[in-house]
Chain A
Amino acid sequence: MNRFEYADNKFSEIEMMIAIPSFIIGVGILSLPQALASATTAMDGVFSILIAGGIVTFITWAIAKFAASFPDTTFISYASLIVSKPVAILLTFLFAIVFFSITAYQVRKIADISKQYLFDQTPVEVISLTFFLVIIYAVSGSRVGIIRLNMMFFPFILFIAIIVVIFNLNWFKFSNFLPVFQSNINDYLTGVNKSLFSFGGFGILWFYMAYVNKPNKAPKMAALGTGFPIALYALIFLACIGVYGESVTASMLYPTVELAKMVEIPGGILERFESIFFVIWIMAIFNTTAMAFDITVLAINLVFHHIPKIKIIFLLSPLIYAIAMYPQNLIEVSAFETFLNYAVFYYSIFVLVLLFVVAKIRGVKPSE
């Protein structure tokens, strides 16, 4: 079987801009309104989203800027320049583990949600396996292919999310938004904390920046890309509060899905709108998972460059599947999620600070 070869192996800066929101938008937003509503009063959670969004945009920009100062260089090579080879290998390896776990988590979560709403009788194991097989297929193809797939899916994802909000305007009760600014600082911080994690997409920049063809333009574009999920999340959160009110939103597992369930197209043509929403949203989760798995493979490939990519994929896949299936119930899955969120977020920041500070101290300059 012949594989399609792309003419160039580089991403344009627009593709980089779309890759960021494609990675961020996934299972996080399905439950984020719940977490925010239980932490803050009425619509105050939206300020948490905006603050968290600001922070994340800055970090994204900073990572992209830093990585862009070493154009066409992979993470491991510039990390070796700065903090010596063994440490660089360790850092890359930790990244591999982080993204490996993200892949496992996404595979599990998508199966849980689909089982809840779509496949009542199908075992979780089978749902995840079928989903995961497609992921494996995507990842064993070309890297640029995944990135370009993002470009193709992204408009659909935005479109369906906006449709869900628009069709819910009918149910809006604006009094639900009140009272404003009644949460105390701690509530806001909890909210910021919770939203920060759902925006944790900047990790992919460490690896994908090496493939961007105009690195100097990429930081701005990556920061712009974070704008999409921030706006979208704020919109969806407001819709949940407007339609359900704070107390109901806080009691639901996946308020965003329930929002899609509320949609009734006038005339009774389509009563089960959530099935369409799901089809599109699985595309979003597919993007996230495919990129996470791709980066896992890429990171391991950087450490062991003599092993062919396909071998790494076939070695890792059963492991990922096994880990995805390990948690027994919802509580264990969400414990896994919390741990992962912390790991992804703080590890990326840790690496940024470490590399930046050491580079400054040792005066490592990117080779021109």
Chain B
Amino acid sequence: MNKRIIFILCNIIFLLAGCWDEQPIEEHGFAIGSSIDLAEEKNEGTYNVMFTSQFVVTSGFGTPAQGSGGGKKSFMNLSVTGESIFESSREMSTKTSLTPFYEHLKVIVVSSDIAKEPNLFSSLMDIFLRDHEMRRGIRVAVTEGEAKSLLEINPENEKLPAMYINEVLKKNAKSIEVMDPVTMGVLQQYLLTKSSYVLPMLLSEENEINSEGGAVFHGQENKMIGTLSNDEMKGLNFIKGKVNGGIVNLEVDGQSVIYEIKNARSQIKIDTQNPNNMNISVSIKAEGSIGEKFGSQSLKDPKYQAKLEKNVGKAIEQLAMKSLEKGQNELNADIYGFDSILKQKHYDVWKEVKDKWITGDQLFTKTNVQISAEAIVRSIGSSDVTHEKGVE
């Protein structure tokens, strides 16, 4: 019996001694944000890119008793230049005592220089989809200028710039100037279906980050082809019907009124009678309240209210038209998702026009799009009139 136990124990030594994947948690370098910049173009089609990762320095946080970690920085940025991101991230581990660990990566910022090179952006995204450490919830954004500088800002209320960027991207879902955050998983869908899409555009200004319109990517050319201004983003979001907040400025009787949108939905109908000349009708329905109003006109007046609602509708139509104008005529990029509606609702037609939609006959640019918008003012706030009409 004794011999048997010793025999088993000896075997256990072999089974328990080695753990290949042993990884003490204090040696993990938790990367929470990354940026990609173009370093140089080597030859035709090959590039050197600078990959920067932001790692959390846990000691920088301090313990609750110590207060705020004694002025130590709570993050560390590492940059490596190389041809591929995988190579760079491996090289990164030789530069630090930590092992880079990307399971908790939150956000990737790509500079527009990268985005404008054909096929480069999508190729660089490969590792974020292939590597088992990467998650599909990573948010992707584009910035004009150097992307690395976004990871270096010093936000007032956040310790970690990457977390700050992440929060800014998340909050944006509440306003219509900016895109819903685009995650890696959704991005892959765009890339695989060769659809055109828009990524949120960020600008860094000293210690804060501004969302500034969007970067338009062309599905077929596979590169960034232009930007949308804030107003054009509003229009785009109205057409897509994904609005959960935000404001529309308008004028009624020469006085400016701020209409606050609670939500807006759109209905897109495509008439495919003549596949070479399709009619698309977009009807937008918005609901909201009056956020701010100048002048002394009473909002309880039904006539005024009707006029107000009509003007809001017009303002929305204008925004949508302006955006459509840009996408359809200037950029030739179907960022409105008409192609996927065709595919989902008119599959037979889609099979026919698939190759002629953007390329070839460019059917997309030839479609007639009718936009109509209706707005409802649900509430006017807690006070009707702030001041009586002054003596003129």
Contact = CB atoms under 8 A, between A and B. Distances in A.
Interface of A: 41-42, 116-123, 126, 130, 171, 175, 178-179, 182, 243-245, 247-248, 251, 258, 261-262, 264, 271-272
B185 A264 contact: no
Given A122-B20, A262-B136, A271-B104, A251 B188 contact: yes
Given A175-B344, A178-B344, A264-B137, A121 B20 contact: yes
Given A178-B344, A251-B192, A262 B185 contact: yes
Nearest to A259: B136
Interface in B297-341: 340
B189 A248 contact: yes
Contact of A248 (B20, B103, B192): B192
8 contacts: A119-B20, A119-B21, A122-B20, A122-B21, A178-B345, A247-B189, A248-B189, A271-B104
Interface residues of B, number: 20
Contacts of B189: 244-245, 247-248
A247 B192 contact: yes
A121 B344 contact: no
B195 to A, nearest CB: 10
B344 A179 contact: yes
B132 interface: yes
A179 B347 contact: yes
B25 interface: no
A184 to B, nearest CB: 11
Interface of B: 15, 19-21, 103-104, 132, 135-137, 185, 188-189, 192-193, 340, 343-345, 347
A192 to B, nearest CB: 21
Contacts of B104: 271
A121 B189 CA distance: 31
A262 B20 CA distance: 27
A120 B192 contact: no
A121 to B, nearest CB: 4
A251 B347 CA distance: 21
A182 B351 CA distance: 11
A194 B341 CA distance: 29
A261 B135 contact: yes
A282 to B, nearest CB: 15
A245 B188 CA distance: 10
Given A247-B193, A262-B136, A123 B188 contact: no
Contacts of B347: 41, 179, 182
A119 B347 CA distance: 43
Nearest to A262: B136
B126 to A, nearest CB: 11
B132 A272 contact: no
B345 A272 contact: no
Contacts of A245: 189, 193
Contact of B345 (A121, A179, A262): A179
Contacts of B193: 245, 247
Nearest to A257: B132
Given A119-B21, A243-B185, 9 more contacts: A117-B132, A118-B21, A122-B21, A130-B15, A179-B343, A245-B189, A248-B185, A262-B136, A262-B185
Query: Which interface residue of A116, A119, A178 has the most chain B CB atoms within 10 A?
Result: A178
A12 to B, nearest CB: 35
A120 B132 contact: yes
Contacts of A171: 185
Contacts of B192: 247-248, 251
Contacts of B345: 178-179
B345 to A, nearest CB: 7
A120 B188 contact: no
A248 B21 contact: no
Given A175-B344, A248-B188, A123 B132 contact: no
Contacts of A119: 20-21
A126 B185 contact: no
Contact of B20 (A126, A247, A264, A271): A126
B21 A120 contact: yes
A86 to B, nearest CB: 43
Contacts of B188: 248, 251
Query: Which interface residue of B135, B189, B343, B345 has the most chain A CB atoms within 10 A?
Result: B189
B103 A271 contact: yes
Nearest to A275: B103
A248 B136 CA distance: 11
A182 B343 CA distance: 10
Contacts of B340: 175
B369 to A, nearest CB: 19
Contacts of A258: 136
B137 A123 contact: no
Leading 3 A-B pairs by shortest Cβ distance: A178-B344, A122-B20, A121-B20
